[in-house]
Chain A
Amino acid sequence: MICIIALIVFGVMAIFSAKYRPVAKEALDCVFRRVTFRKCESRLDVRLKGQITGKLMKSHPKIAKFIYKRFEIISWIMLAIMIWSTISSGIAVYNYAMYGNCNGKQNGEAFCVFDPAGKSSFSTAVTNYSGPVVLPSFGNDSFIGPRDAKVEIIEFGCYRCPYTRKAEATVKQILKDYKGKVVYTFRDFPLSDRHFDAELHAFAARCAGDQGKYWEFRDYMFEKFDTMNHDEKGMKQLASDFGLNVTQFNECFDSRKYMPQIEDDVRAGVMAGVYGTPTFFINNKTIVGPQDYEMFKPIIDRALKQ
C-alpha cells in the first residue's frame, strides 16, 4: 500500500522536480505489479519500510516496532486518510470556485483560513499592508493574569466575528487551567469593512472598563449577543441592563474617546500580519482561527518550559 502513497506523493513532487521522477516511476511500476498480483521488483516498499522504521528506531524503538509490525495496516489507514483529505480538498476547491468560500454557501459556523479573496463569511480581514512584519507588543489594554507571567497571550479579535466568539470558550479554559502562569490580553481588531457597527462593541467594552467592569461586561455582551441590538442604542441598553452607570457610560461611548487606542490595536495587528480574527500570539507563536484547546496546550506548555 505504501507504493500507492509513494506514487501520489512522489508523483506530485515529480511535477516540480526531476529528482523525484525515478522514485515516482518506481512507485508506478510497483503499484502496477501489485494490482496485477505480481511482486514489486524494485523493492520500493521494502526500502520505504526500512527507512521509516530505521529512522524511528533511533529515538523511539517501541514505536518503530509497532509500526514495523503493522506497516501494511498503517499504510492502508494512511491511504484512506490521504484519499479523504484529497476529496475534502477537492470539495473545498470546488466550493471556492463556486461560492468564493471553501466551506460552501455562506456558512457562519465553520472557519476557513484559505480565503485569499476575503469572501469567506465574516471571518477574515484583508489588509493592504505590505511593510515588514512586526510582532505585536502586549500593549496597554486590560489583561488577566500576572503581568510578569512567563507566557503572554495576545488575542486580536472582533466582537462581531463569529469565530472570535467561538474561541472565547477556549480562552476561558486556558485562563482556568493556566491560572497564574499566563497573562492574557484582548486587542481590538474590529472588522469594520464588513460590519459598520464592529467598532461599537469595542467602544462599549472599553467604556465599561472605565467603571472597572471591562471583562465582566465583555462576558455579558457575548452572552446576550444573539438577542441584543448591535447599534448604538442597543449598546447603551446593554450597559443599562448590565447595571453600569449609564450617564458615565453614555458620555464615554458618545465621545469615542477610545478610538485612538482601538486604532493602535488595529495598526499593531496589521503590522503583525493579522489577516483574520481571532489571531493569537503566544510568546510570538501564532494561532489563527477558533482552534481547539488541544492546539493551544502544547504551545503554552513548551513556552512555560523555555
Chain B
Amino acid sequence: MMDLSKFRNDFNILQKKIKGIPIIYFDNACMTLRPRQVVEAMNEYYNEYPACGERSEHALGKRVTEEVEKSRREIAKFIGAKKDKEIIFTKNTTEGINLVANSFGLNNNSAFGSKKTVLLSEKEHNSNLLPWLRLKKKSGIGVEFVKFEEEFDIEDFSRKVKNAGLVSMVWTSNMDGTSIPVEKVIKIAHENKVPVMIDAAQAAPHKAIDVRKLDADFLAFSGHKMLGPAATGILYGKQEMLEKLESFAIGGGTVQDSTYDSMVMEEIPERFEAGLQNYAGIIGMSAATRYLSSVGMGNIEKHEKMLNEKASKAVVNAGGEILGGKDASKRSGILSFNLSNIDAHTVAIMLNESRNIMMRAGRHCVHSYFNAHNIGGSARASFYFYNTPEEVEAFSEEIKKIAEMGK
C-alpha cells in the first residue's frame, strides 16, 4: 500500500475545500492534478531563464536549450525510447495523431507502401477518428474498424490488418477503460508489415511503458493526463519511421536553410517542432515523469485497480450499468456507468453539488461508439494514485443515494 498522505501533500489543491468540503477529484482521464514539483519546475523557467531555446546563444537561451534537451532525454527514458530524437514535443495526443495522419502519406504514394487503408478500433476518441475521416473524404483513403466491445476482437483484427496500410489504435479507451491487447496487435500488424501507431493517452499515465519492448512505430500521449502542465504532449516515433515522415507544420525551428524558392529541412525531431515551443510545459512535463517514477508506475496501476474495484462494486450494488463490463481489473482506472432512470449529467452534477466529487459525464469524445450503440452518454469516474479508498467510500455513499432517486 502506498503512503498516500506523503504524495497527497504535494498537491495543493487536495488540501483545499470548496464550501467547507474537501475536493474529491475523479476526472483524471481528462486532466490530472499537478504536484508542487511540476509547478516549481515551470516557475523556475519563468523566474530563472525565461528565454528562447534552440536558437539563442546567450546564457539564458543556452540554459533553455539544455533544460529542454534534458527533458527530452528524461521522457525518452521514461518510455524506454532508444534515442532522444525519437521524442517530439506536441501540445497533446491529438496533435501527435494529426501529425502522423497528415504526414504519413496514406493519401499518395507513401514511402510506407501502397495500401491506403487505416485500421482503427470501434472505441476511438475523436482525436484518432476525425483526422482519418477527413482524409477519407479528401483523399479517398479507406477507414476500417475492428470490433471492440468488452473485449477487443483479435480475430477480426487479424483479418482486417492484411489490407491495412497503417494501424492506429487506442491502447486504453478513455470511454470505459478497456484495453486492446497491444503487444499482440503490434506483433500481428508487423507480421503483416503494417506499421502501428498507438494512442496511449490513457495508458502512459497509468502503467509502465517500454516502447522498444512494445515495438510500437508511433505512440502519442499527453502530459496533462499524467501530472504535467496543460497542453503538453509527446509523439514518439521510431527513428526510421520519423525520417520517412514529411513535416506537417513547418516554419521557424524546422529548417536549416531557406531561399526564396527552396528550403533544407532540419533533422528529426526539430523538423516536427515548428515555431517557438512551450518550454515551461516541456520542463514541467519532465518533472512530472520524474515524479511518476518516484511513485512507481506499478504501484499506480495496482492502486487504481483497487479503487476501481471498490467503486465498481458500489455502482453494481446500486443497480448501475457499467460500460466495458463489471470486471474492474480490465478497466484500468476508469469507471464509466449509467444509473437507471437518471441522466448521466445529472449524476455528475449531483455528486459535485453534494460532496465536491468531480467527474465527467457525456460521450467523452467517443460519439461514434455511443451513436452506434444508441446510448446517450455515461457518467465517468477516473482515478489516479492520489485518490484514496475513503474518497471512493464517499462516492459509493452518494451513488447509493442518487440511485435511490431513480427508483
Contact = CB atoms under 8 A, between A and B. Distances in A.
Interface residues on A, range: 10 to 19
Interface string A33-67: 00000000001001101110111011001001100
Report whether over half of chain A's contact residues are helix, strand or loop; otherwise say mixed.
Answer: helix
Given A49-B346, A50-B345, A61 B353 contact: no
B350 A54 contact: yes
A69 B405 contact: yes
B354 A55 contact: yes
Interface string A65-104: 1001100000000000000000000000000000000000
B402 interface: yes
B351 interface: yes
A50 B401 contact: no
B277 interface: no
A150 B396 CA distance: 45
B398 interface: yes
Contacts, number: 48
B349 A57 contact: no
Contacts of B352: 54
B346 A57 contact: no
B343 A54 contact: no
A50 B348 contact: yes
Contacts of A57: 350, 353-354, 398, 401-402, 405
Interface string B34-70: 0000000000000000000000000000000000000
Given A46-B343, A57-B398, A58-B355, A65 B350 contact: no
Given A43-B345, A57-B398, A50 B353 contact: yes
A251 B405 CA distance: 74
A95 to B, nearest CB: 41
Interface in B348-405: 348-355, 398, 401-402, 404-405
Nearest to B398: A57
B316 to A, nearest CB: 21
Contacts of B398: 57
Contacts of A50: 343, 345-350, 353
A57 B397 CA distance: 11
B343 A68 contact: no
Given A53-B405, A65-B404, A58 B353 contact: yes
Contacts of B404: 61, 65
A39 to B, nearest CB: 11
Given A46-B346, A49-B346, 8 more contacts: A46-B343, A50-B349, A51-B349, A54-B352, A55-B353, A57-B401, A58-B354, A64-B405
Interface of A: 43, 46-47, 49-51, 53-55, 57-58, 61, 64-65, 68-69
